[in-house]
A and B are shown apart, each in its own frame.
Chain A
Amino acid sequence: SQTIHQWPATLVQPVGSPLSLECTVEGTSNPNLYWYRQAAGRGLQLLFYSVGIGQISSEVPQNLSASRPQDRQFILSSKKLLLSDSGFYLCAWSDYRGLGTEAFFGQGTRLTVV
């Protein structure tokens, strides 16, 4: 069966510090991978998605970047965090064949920038 791992679960970082959140998927090949952010009291905002190694699409301009160094690994990074980067970050995967398939979510990372 497929599983998705996202870590850390919580993170408190000072403004200006770097960020690295990691997400890995097991039990599937060539998944579509997503990073979402959920600000307090708001819906989910798609940040990045990837359909293959090294292929990253950014949905919104921001202080963040994403990388996919391996087929089932998706990393969210920042060189210098801003206060506005605080939020709940969710990684997700879906089957590359697309049609009719749902996305599966990790348990999320609560990031607080202080």
Chain B
Amino acid sequence: AQSVTQLDSHVSVSEGTPVLLRCNYSSSYSPSLFWYVQHPNKGLQLLLKYTSAATLVKGINGFEAEFKKSETSFHLTKPSAHMSDAAEYFCVVRNNAGNMLTFGGGTRLMVKP
């Protein structure tokens, strides 16, 4: 079985300050991990993915995430928040032994001017 825990349901930062959205996972096999962003009433857009290559993954819009197997974490970061980053973010694990995607509960990022 696999699971994903997003440690913060809400994160609030000021524009121009760093962003950290935390994600921990559990998986019986080597997982593929993803971060998605969802703007209100929209579908989910892929930010980045980890698929057993480089552990530091760079994505769109200046986001990146680091896979740490020893900590079973895949935290999402961005050096400087922009107002347009305000959205809901989902950490997702895909078990390479199957076709299942498991979503975290989501983190709502708010960016203050």
- Chain A residues packing against B (C-beta within 8 Å): 6, 32, 34, 36, 42-44, 46, 49, 51, 88, 90, 92, 94, 96, 98-108, 110
**Would you give the shortest CB distance from B92 to chain A, in whole angstroms?**
8
- What does the 1/0 interface line of B22-46 toward A look like (CB < 8 Å)? 0000000000101010000111111
| Given A98-B96, A102-B49, A43:B104 Cβ within 8 A | yes
Q: Which residue from chain A places its CB closest to the CB of B95 in the assembled complex?
A: A98
In contact, A107 and B43 (Cβ under 8 angstroms): yes
In contact, A102 and B46 (Cβ under 8 angstroms): yes
A46 to B104, CA, bound (A): 12
| Interface pairs A-B: 6 shortest CB-CB | A100-B51, A105-B43, A43-B105, A105-B44, A44-B103, A107-B43
| Given A43-B90, A43-B104, A100-B51, A51:B99 Cβ within 8 A | yes
Question: Which of chain B's residues have a CB closer than 8 A to the CB of A32?
Answer: 99
| Given A43-B106, A44-B90, A44-B103, A100:B41 Cβ within 8 A | no
**Chain B interface bracket (under 10, 10 to 19, 20 to 34, 35 or more):** 20 to 34
Q: Which residue from chain A places its CB closest to the CB of B101 in the assembled complex?
A: A103
A102 to B104, CA, bound (A): 15
Does B84 sit within 8 A of A, measured CB to CB? no
- Chain B residues packing against A (C-beta within 8 Å): 32, 34, 36, 41-46, 49, 51-52, 90, 92, 94, 96, 98-101, 103-106
**Would you give the shortest CB distance from B30 to chain A, in whole angstroms?**
10
| Given A108-B43, A110-B41, A99:B32 Cβ within 8 A | yes
In contact, A94 and B49 (Cβ under 8 angstroms): no
**Would you give the shortest CB distance from A62 to chain B, in whole angstroms?**
17
Question: Which of chain A's residues have a CB closer than 8 A to the CB of B90?
Answer: 43-44
**Would you give the shortest CB distance from B57 to chain A, in whole angstroms?**
12
Question: Which of chain B's residues have a CB closer than 8 A to the CB of A107?
Answer: 42-43
